C-alpha cells in the first residue's frame, strides 16, 4: 500500500492511489519549479504529473539557465538524478514515505556531506573531503530529501558580502548591482531564484537572516542547542547555529522539524539542553495552534535597531517597517516601544562579540581532524603571506589578524562572556517587564549593500547571536521599484522570542505573513524553463572572475 508523505494533504490521498501506481517510464511530463513548494512537488509525484527525475531535472535546468548570472551554486551533486530514479522506483512499488520525499535541497558550502567537498568557499580548502554526512544532512536524506548541490558563501563565513576565492561574487537576483546578503548568500540567492525548495545556512551573527531578508525569504535561527552543529566548519562555539531558508513558512517548518529531529548529539554538547517540549516536535502543527489572530499579542519595538535618519538606503527600510507596524496595529497587536540604550546593535557587537577569540582554536581543531591532507592544517597556514587562495575584505583585515593571535585564554574573553550573561538577563527582564510575546525589528537598518561595498553594514543579528534565543525572519516588503530593481529590493523583519519558543514564533510569523503577504519572485527569472532529459548531472563551475577589485586575493 502506498504511504503518502506526512506533508501530503490527507484528503487527496485516496483519490490518488491509482495515479501513484503509474509506471516510472510514463512519468515524463514537465514540472514548473518556479516558486515550487513541498506540497506542489508531492502533488506532482502522486498524481502522476511528473516523476522525481523530472522534478530534479527542472531545477537543474533553472540552474543552468540562471546561475551564470546569479553565481549562487558552487557544485551540483553528481548522484542527484540517480537518487531521483531510486525514489521513482520506490513510488512505483508503493514504498514511498518521508516528509521531504524528492525535495531538492541545497547545502551551504561549509557543511559536511559525503561525496561533496566541504570548503568554506575557500580555494585553500578544496581538498577537504568528508567521509560521512553531518547528522543533520543524514536527517534530511532519511526524510527523503535530495541534496542537489552546494552554494557559495562569504569566504569562511566571515562577512555578509558573499564573495569567496572559490566561488567569486554571488549576485542578488532582485537587483544585480547588489549583494545577496551573507554569509549564506548563495543559499539565499538560490532559493530566491527557485533553484531548489530549501537551502541550509549557518548563522554566527547574521548569516542566515541577512540573505533571507535580502531575497524575500523565510528563515529561522533556532535556540542554540536545538539543532546539532556537528559537521559545520566552526567560527564561534558561543554564536554558531544552523538553520534553513524557504520561500514559504510551511516549507520552513518541515525543514526545522527534520533538522531538529537529530536531538541530542554527543558531538555538540549544547544539544543536551533540549527540553522535553522540543524533542521530536512537529513544528508544522505550530502554524495552526495558539491564538487565531494577532489581536492582543504584545510586540516590543527595539528603537535602537532602527536608523531613523533619512537616506536612499535607510528610508526604504523605515517605510516598509512603518507600513508593517500600521498593519499590526490595525490587526489588534499591541506595540511597545523599547528605548533601553543597551539595545544598540553596533555597541553590543563591539563590546561582546567573541568570534575572534574562538575562531582560530575551533578551525585548527576542525582541520586537525583529517591530518595529512594537502590543504592547510591550521588557520595560520590558510592565511599564509604570499598565498593567493583567500579573500578578506579590507574592513576585515583587523578581524583576521587579531583572530590569528587571540584565544579563549585572554582575560578580555572572560569579561565578554560575563557581559553576554548580563545581556541574556536584561533581555529576559525586558520580556517579563513588558509582558512581551516577541520582539520585532528590521533585519537590516539599510538596504542590502551594493557589490564592492566595504562591509554588509547595518545588520541587527548580534542580539540573538549572543543570547542564543530563536528568531524567525519574514519578508516585510520592498523598496520602491527602480531600473536596477524592477520590483524593489526586499526588506525582512526579525521576530525574536524567548529560548525554546520556536513554536510560538512560527505561529506569530504565519499570522504576520497572512496579514502582509510580501513574498515576490525576481521578475527576470520569472519564466518557465523547459526541463531537459539529462543523461547525467551537468558540471557547474562558479565564476571566480567576478571578485570585485575592492577585494584583492591574498591580501591581509
Question: Catalytic residue at 293?
Answer: no
Residue 137: how many other CB atoms lie within 10 Å: 24
Residue of 164, 165, 184, 207 marked catalytic: 207
Our answer to whether residue 108 is catalytic in this structure is: yes
Q: What are the contacts of 386-390 at 24+ separation with CB within 8 A?
A: 386/554, 387/124, 387/554, 388/165, 388/553, 388/554, 389/122, 389/123, 389/124, 389/165, 389/553, 389/554, 390/122, 390/123, 390/124, 390/155, 390/156, 390/165, 390/553, 390/554, 390/556
Length of the chain: 556
Residue of 57, 58, 108, 403 marked catalytic: 108
Active site (annotated) includes residue 267: no
Q: How would you label 317-345 residue by residue, b for 16+ Cβ within 10 Å and e otherwise?
A: bbebbeebbebbeebebbeeebeeebbbb
Three-state DSSP at 550 gives coil
Residue 553 gets which letter from DSSP? B
| Helix axes of 315-330 and 502-515: crossing angle, nearest 10 degrees | 100
- Grid coordinates given for 316: 526604504
Q: Write down the catalytic residue from 122, 162, 165, 183.
A: 183
User: CB–CB of 246/252 below 8 Å?
Assistant: yes
Residue 495: strand pairing partners: 440, 472
Q: Which of 352, 475, 505, 501 is nearest to 414 (CA)?
A: 352
d(CA 495, CA 297): 13
Nearest to 202 by CA among 158, 157, 242: 242
Positions marked active-site: 108, 183, 207
Amino acid at each position: 500500500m502506498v504511504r503518502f508523505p506526512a506533508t501530503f494533504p490527507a484528503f487527496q490521498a485516496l483519490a490518488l492511489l491509482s495515479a501513484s501506481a503509474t509506471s516510472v517510464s510514463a512519468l515524463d511530463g514537465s514540472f514548473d519549479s518556479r516558486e515550487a513548494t513541498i506540497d506542489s512537488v508531492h502533488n506532482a509525484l502522486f498524481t502522476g504529473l511528473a516523476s522525481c527525475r523530472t522534478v530534479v531535472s527542472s531545477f537543474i535546468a533553472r540552474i543552468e539557465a540562471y546561475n551564470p548570472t546569479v553565481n549562487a551554486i558552487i557544485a551540483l551533486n553528481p548522484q542527484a538524478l540517480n537518487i531521483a530514479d531510486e525514489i521513482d522506483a520506490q513510488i512505483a512499488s508503493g514504498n514511498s514515505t518521508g516528509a521531504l520525499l524528492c525535495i531538492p535541497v541545497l547545502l551551504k558550502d561549509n557543511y559536511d556531506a559525503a561525496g561533496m567537498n566541504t570548503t568554506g568557499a575557500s580555494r585553500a580548502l578544496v581538498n577537504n573531503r568528508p567521509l560521512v554526512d553531518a547528522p543533520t544532512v543524514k536527517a534530511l536524506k532519511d526524510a527523503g530529501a535530495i541534496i542537489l548541490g552546494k552554494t557559495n558563501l562569504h569566504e569562511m563565513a566571515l562577512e555578509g558580502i558573499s564573495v569567496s576565492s572559490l566561488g567569486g561574487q554571488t549576485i542578488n537576483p532582485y537587483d544585480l548591482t547588489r549583494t545577496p546578503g551573507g554569509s549564506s548568500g548563495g543559499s539565499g540567492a538560490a532559493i530566491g531564484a527557485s533553484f531548489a525548495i530549501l537551502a541550509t545556512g549557518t548563522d554566527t551573527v547574521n548569516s542566515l537572516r541577512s540573505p533571507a531578508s535580502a531575497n524575500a525569504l523565510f528563515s529561522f535561527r533556532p535556540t542554540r542547542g536545538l539543532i546539532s552543529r556537528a559537521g559545520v566548519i566552526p567560527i564561534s562555539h558561543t554564536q554558531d547555529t544552523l538553520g534553513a531558508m524557504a520561500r514559504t513558512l510551511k516549507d520552513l517548518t518541515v525543514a526545522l522539524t527534520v533538522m531538529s529531529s537529530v536531538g541530542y548529539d554527543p558531538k555538540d554538547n549544547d544539544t543536551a539542553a533540549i527540553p522535553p517540549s522540543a524533542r521530536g516536535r512537529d513544528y508544522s502543527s505550530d502554524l495552526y495552534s495558539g491564538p487565531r489572530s494577532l489581536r492582543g499579542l504584545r510586540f516590543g519595538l527595539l528603537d535602537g535597531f532602527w536608523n531613523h535618519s533619512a537616506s536612499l538606503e535607510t528610508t526604504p527600510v523605515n517605510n516598509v517597517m512603518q507600513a508593517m507596524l500600521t498593519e499590526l496595529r490595525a490587526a489588534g497587536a499591541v506595540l511597545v516601544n523599547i528605548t533601553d540604550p543597551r539595545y544598540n546593535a553596533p555597541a553590543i557587537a563591539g563590546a561582546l562579540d567573541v568570534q575572534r577569540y574562538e575562531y582560530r582554536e575551533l578551525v585548527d581543531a576542525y582541520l586537525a581532524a583529517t591530518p595529512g591532507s594537502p590543504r592547510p592544517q591550521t588557520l595560520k597556514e590558510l592565511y599564509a603571506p604570499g598565498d593567493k587562495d583567500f579573500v578578506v575584505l579590507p574592513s576585515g583585515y583587523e578581524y583576521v589578524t587579531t583572530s590569528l593571535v587571540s584565544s579563549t585564554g585572554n582575560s578580555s574573553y572572560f569579561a565578554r562572556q560575563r557581559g553576554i550573561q548580563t545581556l541574556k538577563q536584561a533581555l529576559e527582564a525586558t520580556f517579563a517587564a513588558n509582558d512581551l510575546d516577541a520582539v520585532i525589528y528590521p533585519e537590516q537598518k539599510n538596504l542590502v549593500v551594493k557589490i564592492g561595498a566595504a562591509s554588509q553594514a547595518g545588520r541587527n543579528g548580534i542580539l540573538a547571536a549572543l543570547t542564543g534565543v530563536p528568531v524567525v525572519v519574514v519578508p516585510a516588503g520592498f523598496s520602491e521599484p527602480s531600473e536596477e530593481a524592477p520590483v524593489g529590493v526586499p526588506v525582512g523583519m526579525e521576530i525574536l522570542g524567548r529560548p525554546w519558543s520556536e513554536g510560538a514564533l512560527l505561529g506569530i510569523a504565519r499570522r504576520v505573513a497572512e496579514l502582509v503577504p510580501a513574498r515576490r519572485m525576481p521578475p527576470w527569472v520569472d519564466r518557465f524553463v523547459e526541463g531537459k532529459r539529462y543523461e547525467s548531472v551537468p558540471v557547474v563551475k562558479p565564476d571566480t572572475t567576478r571578485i570585485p577589485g575592492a577585494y584583492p586575493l591574498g591580501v591581509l
